[in-house]
Amino acid sequence: MPRPALSVVAPCFNEEGVLPEFLQRVRSVLDSLGSSSEIVLVDDGSRDGTWQVLANAAAEDKRVIAVRLMRNHGHQLALTAGLSLCRGERILIIDADLQDPPELLVDMMALMDQGADVVYGQRRQREGETLFKRATAAAFYRLIGRMTDVQIPRDAGDFRLITRRVLDILLAMPERHRFIRGMVAWIGGRQVPLVYDRKPRAAGESKYPLVKMVRFAVDAITAFSVVPLMASMTIGWIMAAVGFAFFVYSIVGWWLGEALPGWTSIMAALGLLGGMQFLMLGVIGAYLGRLYDQSKGRPLFIIKDIVGGP
């Protein structure tokens, strides 16, 4: 079958309350564009009525394709599942919580008509988010910008429009711990920002509490930077120098016949050196753990049902 001109791909996790409005707004935008289109919605193991809403939408609108995963795989893998199934020549990646307005698709399409390979949304303001979340997000983007050679746009999430060529390259990348916005940036090509104000969630709660945010940041850093491993070598040299200084201090004190500090200095040295060793072992373990997960070669996701579509 011929490819549709546009695919909209959105992962969903416990989004029963916001999906009707999301679908209505996306359909309205697609109707205004007038070109052939599809909407691929992935239920990432939701525990509410999300799947029933998606299945009903697929039954009512032939453009909607509802995909249900066997269990919760996380946002990035659920998004990957939708991207692997969509057929459009251009693909809009968007979350279903309506913080990223689907109406910006019209402007994104215009920029892509001018030759862009990727048009990504860049947040000017983040309404409805706490000061802590805004501060940690800003720190994360600036930290990863300094730790990697890939120019990952600041203050930009996964909300973006990409071409089929970019998507094919993205799907050929086999990483299990995926940081899709970084992977798209790594591909290169002409990537153009579209600045906008991010809105509060239309309904429901954020699916990224602090623990998930930290895990996501670790995945991003370990996927795109070896700076922590290089830092472990640098800190190792520093700690070796500190240990050697303690050694010289002990020998000189013994030679001069002076009473050496006892338990306190020894325990301080052991605590300092031991703590840094365990810290560096933890960094190395994070990288080894990801290599272990990747080496098992298991599928990135498992699909349970697909409703709608050709």
pLDDT surpassing 80 at residue 207: no
- Report, as an integer, the average pLDDT of 138-159: 77
Tell me if the pTM is above 0.85.
no
In the chain, what are the domain boundaries? 6-205+299-307, 227-295
Q: Please report how many Cα atoms fall inside a 13 Å half-sphere around the Cα of residue 33, on the Cβ side.
A: 25
Q: What is the CA radius of gyration of the chain?
A: 25
Question: Within 10 A of 158 (CB to CB), how many other CB atoms are there?
Answer: 19
Reported as a single tens digit per residue, the pLDDT across 136-148 is 777 777 777 677 7
Alpha helix ranges (H) inside the chain: 19-33, 50-60, 75-85, 105-113, 131-147, 164-171, 180-187, 210-224, 227-256, 263-295
- Report, as an integer, the average pLDDT of 162-181: 92
171 Cβ neighbours under 8 A, 6+ residues apart: 80, 83, 84
How high is the pLDDT of residue 291?
Answer: 78
- CA-closest candidate to residue 188, choices 203, 210, 166, 172: 166
Reported as a single tens digit per residue, the pLDDT across 85-109 is 999 999 999 999 999 999 999 999 9
Q: Which residues pair with 92 in a beta bridge?
A: 8, 161
For residue 268, name the pLDDT band (cuts at 50, 70, 90). low
pLDDT surpassing 80 at residue 257: no
For residue 270, name the pLDDT band (cuts at 50, 70, 90). low
- CA-closest candidate to residue 108, choices 120, 99, 125: 120
Ordered strands of the 303-307 beta sheet: 191-198, 118-126, 156-163, 90-93, 6-12, 37-43, 64-69, 303-307
How high is the pLDDT of residue 171?
Answer: 95
Burial of 73 (0-12, 13-18, 19+ CB in 10 A): buried
How high is the pLDDT of residue 260?
Answer: 55
- Please, what is the average pLDDT of the chain? 83
Q: What is the CATH number of domain 6-205+299-307?
A: 3.90.550.10
pLDDT surpassing 90 at residue 112: yes
Yes or no: say if 254 and 212 are a contact pair by the CB < 8 Å rule: no
pLDDT surpassing 60 at residue 259: no
